[in-house]
Every structure is written in C-alpha cells, then in structure tokens.
Amino acid sequence: MNKNAADLGELFVERNNKKIYRKDGVVTKVFDHKFYSESSVLSEAMNQAYALELGFNAPKVYSVFPVGSDWAIASEEIKGETLAQLMEKDPANKKKYIDKLVSIQISLLSHLTDNLKLPKLKDKLNKYITNSGLDATTRYDLNVRLEKMPNHYKFCHGDLAPNNIILEGDKAYILDWAHATRGNASADAAMTYLLLVLEGDEKAASIYLKDFCKKSDTDPSYVQNWISVVSATKLATIKDEQKRAILLRNINVVEY
Ligand SMILES: Nc1ncnc2c1ncn2[C@@H]1O[C@H](COP(=O)(O)OP(=O)(O)OP(=O)(O)O)[C@@H](O)[C@H]1O
Ligand SMILES: [Mg+2]
C-alpha cells in the first residue's frame, strides 16, 4: 500500500538520494526512484533479512512499500550511536572502536555462504571497472588482476564502515546491506580500508588495516592488491575531485 512521506515521522538523515525517517521505533529508508529501482530496494531488504536469518545483528525488516513514486524499507529502530559518531565524540578510544569494527567484520566473513541470491563479488567489481571511465588498457589490466584473485565465497557486507554499525549498549548492529555479496574476505577489508581513507581518516585506516591483518592472519600486501581493484570500482560513483585523486593514486601505485 502506498504511504505518504508525512506519515513516516521525523526526517533525521538525508543523503545520497535517500531520506531516513523515524517514528515509534520504526526507521523508514526512502530511496529516490530516479536512482534506485524497486528491485534494488527489495534486494537490500532481502540481504538484511538474510543476515538476520544467519543470526547476525541487523535491524529487523518490517516491510517494503511504495512512498509516492519511491520505494522504502521499514526496519526496527536501533537506539544507539554509530561507530562513526562514537569515534568523533571520543577520539581517544578510536582504537577500541576500530577493534570492534574488525571483530564484527571477521565474524561476518567467517561465514561461508551458498546463497545464490547474493551476487558474486567479482562480478560486481567487474561491472564497476567497466563503468569506471578508465582507459581500455587500465581496465584490461584491472580485469586481469581481478581474475587472478582467488574465488572465495565469504559473506561480504561490501560497505562496512563506522557509519554502518550502531552500538546499542554492548550489542553492535550492522546496517546498510545494499552491497552484500559472496566473495573474498580481503576484498571486503580493502573496501573498508578505502572507505576510511575517503572519509579523510588515514590514521583510522592504517590502524584498521593492521588490526584486520593481525586478527585474520592475512598478509597486508594481499589486501593491498585488492585496494587497487576496489579503488577503481569507486571511480564509477565518486565525483569529488580530491577523492578521485586518491582513487587514481591507489590504482597506479600497484605494479601490474
Ligand atoms: N535501523 C536504524 N536504526 C537507527 N538508525 C538508523 C537505522 N537505519 C539507518 N539509521 C541511521 O541512518 C544512517 C544512514 O543509514 P544507512 O546507512 O542505511 O543509509 P545510507 O544512505 O546508505 O547511508 P550512507 O551512504 O551514509 O552509508 C545510519 O548511519 C544511521 O545513523
Ligand atoms: Mg550507510
């Protein structure tokens, strides 16, 4: 049934062609139809439901419905602060919050998934490389590089950054399941590293990378290989010139 935005409560977050409302313990994320299709909204809700089925902490999905020409997901409201808000408020404990992020990520990645509804991470990365606007030779190099990477089938969140984790007391909830895939754990870590760098927090990024590699017993140069590929995929969506310069630098840093 179509609902009115006015019935969804207080508009408390607005960005990236999405509006987030809350009312009576329900958070409604409304996606601008010019940028998000009905099927992409349904697939985000499905990924979130899948994470819950596996026993991970995510907001419960209540419903998916139209709001005017847009589509929306209504979920349980998690009453707490995101790791991003906590890190900003309490920078002295940045390490502790990053440690939390790494532990959550490793628990997700320790799940081998056979869910065929989740896209393969490599297919998704390939598509973004194709749309990156890079020249044909660089795209070819990146595609070859991607092909050589091992095919793992871990449950990857795909956008695991401090603003996508809310702490409610001791319990950490994971939000924003739009980019979930099955794939390689180090690619997921490379994305988290890159998201921290793009937020301008080099220090957090470097603490994160060390911590992730130590806890997952991964060679940092292996994650480094993924950073170049993952950086290329971000070119398709990031317009900010400074951020694009960081991405281009990451792509060129690696010897093919
Ligand atoms: N279920 C929820 N309970 C409480 N707060 C929420 C919930 N869902 C979203 N939020 C708040 O809204 C913010 C944005 O939500 P979400 O990450 O789902 O959307 P997004 O548009 O993809 O955001 P971004 O692009 O910043 O990652 C979160 O960082 C959080 O502060
Ligand atoms: Mg988010």
91 in the same domain as 52: no
Of 189, 184, 193, which is closest to residue 250 (Cα–Cα)? Answer: 193
31 in the same domain as 98: no
Distance 179 CA to ligand 2 centre (A): 10
Alpha carbon nearest to ligand 1 atom 29, residue: 163
Domain hosting 68: range is 5-76
Please state, in angstroms and rounded to a whole number, the distance separating the CA atoms of residues 211 and 61. Answer: 32
36 in the same domain as 121: no
Predicted confidence at residue 256, as pLDDT, reads 42
215 in the same domain as 91: yes
The tens digit of pLDDT for each residue in 189-230 reads 999 999 999 999 999 999 999 999 999 999 999 999 999 999
User: For the chain, how many residues are written?
Assistant: 256
161 in the same domain as 37: no
Distance 136 CA to ligand 2 centre (A): 32
Structure token digits, residue 216: 């997952």
99 in the same domain as 204: yes
The amino acid occupying position 247 is L
The structural domain count of the chain equals: 2
Residues with CB under 6 A from ligand 1: 13, 15-16, 18, 20, 27, 29, 59, 75-78, 82, 163-164, 166, 175-176
Q: Which of 46, 76, 106 is the last residue of a domain?
A: 76
Query: Which residues, including other chains, have CB under 8 Å from residue 55's CB and lie 6 or more apart?
Result: none
Is 0.85 topped by the overall pTM? yes
Which ligand 1 atom minimizes the distance to the CA of 178? 22
Those residues whose beta carbon sits under 5 angstroms from the ion ligand 2 are: 164, 176
The tens digit of pLDDT for each residue in 82-95 reads 999 999 999 999 99
86 in the same domain as 46: no
56 in the same domain as 37: yes
115 in the same domain as 228: yes
The tens digit of pLDDT for each residue in 110-164 reads 999 999 999 999 999 999 999 999 999 999 999 999 999 999 999 999 999 999 9
Residue 115, Cβ density class (10 Å: 0-12 exposed, 13-18 middle, ≥19 buried): middle
106 in the same domain as 11: no
71 in the same domain as 117: no
Which ligand 1 atom minimizes the distance to the CA of 161? 27
Distance 169 CA to ligand 2 centre (A): 20
Please state, in angstroms and rounded to a whole number, the distance separating the CA atoms of residues 160 and 175. Answer: 9
Structure token digits, residue 135: 């020249």
The answer to whether the CB of 160 falls within 8 A of the CB of 188 is: yes
CATH number at residue 122: 3.90.1200.10
Of 60, 82, 75, 66, which is closest to residue 26 (Cα–Cα)? Answer: 75
Distance 77 CA to ligand 1 centre (A): 10
CATH number at residue 57: 3.30.200.20
90 in the same domain as 60: no
Please state, in angstroms and rounded to a whole number, the distance separating the CA atoms of residues 205 and 87. Answer: 13
